Amino acid sequence: MIILDLEQGSPEWGAARLGIPTASQFSRLLTPTGKPSTSANGYMDELLAERLLGASLDQVTTDWMRRGRELEASAVRYYELQRDCDTKAIGFVLRDDGKCGCSPDRLVGEDGLLEIKCPGAKTHVTYLRGDVSAAHKPQTQGQLWICEREWCDVLSYHPEMPPALVRVDRDEAYIKALATVVAQFAARLDAESTKLTADQEASGLERGDQGGER
């Protein structure tokens, strides 16, 4: 585990996660029920494009992203009072091999994580009636795997409704399956990246040769 002390959302944070699979997108590799996702190829194309361009494709700040940032401080205060604890902000965490990473919202003590969601009213009610953690299993289990932690509290926070707070423990069987899928995906990603980079360089040389002939 490699912890990078970066501000989430900063250019440095964006550069650290450029072109590698991250826990927030693990659902595109493995579904919450443990089946391979049909979105993996599209996700690979996005990461390959980032590597070729040297820039993130996700540069747009949506209204929902702004909402999450605005409400996060209030959600953290609620959580710390509810659990009678302190939390610690964290930047970006890489696996030792640097092939994948994650950005938990907070570290809790020595064993826990906090993942905050600030959805709209309808989705929040869905979480109140069901299990806020279920849909986010690939992300939370991925965070527990990468950060080497034991549990993650998932908090859905809406300022005008009761919060939904669920604790998720490590699911070792799911983590094993996720680790395998991520490793295979990362190996394919590196192989495709090497090929495309070579093709890009060859294409550049050909254009240069043609320019010289003129």
Segment 31-89, tens digit of pLDDT: 999 999 999 999 999 999 999 999 888 765 556 556 557 789 999 999 999 999 999 99
Question: At 160, phi and psi to the nearest 5?
Answer: -110, 10
Q: For a pLDDT cut of 90, what percent of the chain falls above it?
A: 77
Q: Supply the pLDDT for residue 209.
A: 61
Task: Supply angle C-alpha 174, 22, 96, rounded to 5.
Answer: 80
- In this predicted structure, the answer to whether residue 207 has a pLDDT above a threshold of 70 is no
- In this predicted structure, the answer to whether residue 190 has a pLDDT above a threshold of 60 is yes
Q: Supply the pLDDT for residue 17.
A: 94
Q: Supply the pLDDT for residue 67.
A: 59
* Two tokens, residue 11: 């250019």
The arithmetic mean of pLDDT across residues 175-190, rounded, is: 97
Of 26-30, 71-75, 166-170, 177-181, give the lowest mean pLDDT range: 71-75
Strand order in the sheet with 92-94: 2-4, 92-94, 101-102
**DSSP letters of 188-204?**
HHHHHHHHHHHHHHHHH
Q: Supply the pLDDT for residue 51.
A: 94
pLDDT, greater one: 10 or 60: 10
The arithmetic mean of pLDDT across residues 143-162, rounded, is: 96
Alpha-carbon gap, residue 163 to 79, rounded angstroms: 9
- The CATH class, in words, for 2-213 is alpha beta
pLDDT, greater one: 211 or 188: 188
* Two tokens, residue 173: 């069987």
Residue 113 pLDDT class (50, 70, 90 cuts): very high
Q: Supply the pLDDT for residue 208.
A: 57
Q: Supply the pLDDT for residue 214.
A: 44
Alpha-carbon gap, residue 104 to 88, rounded angstroms: 10
Q: Supply the pLDDT for residue 70.
A: 74
The arithmetic mean of pLDDT across residues 149-154, rounded, is: 97
Q: How far apart are the first and last CA of the chain?
A: 53
Of 91, 104, 115, nearest to 10 (Cα)?
91
- In this predicted structure, the answer to whether residue 213 has a pLDDT above a threshold of 60 is no
Find out whether 104 and 85 touch, Cβ atoms under 8 Å: no
Q: Report domain extents, the chain.
A: 2-213
Q: b/e per residue, 121-148, with b = 16+ CB within 10 A?
A: eeebeebeeeebbebbbbbbbbbbbbbe
The amino acid sitting at 68 is: G
Of 182, 169, 153, 33, nearest to 84 (Cα)?
153
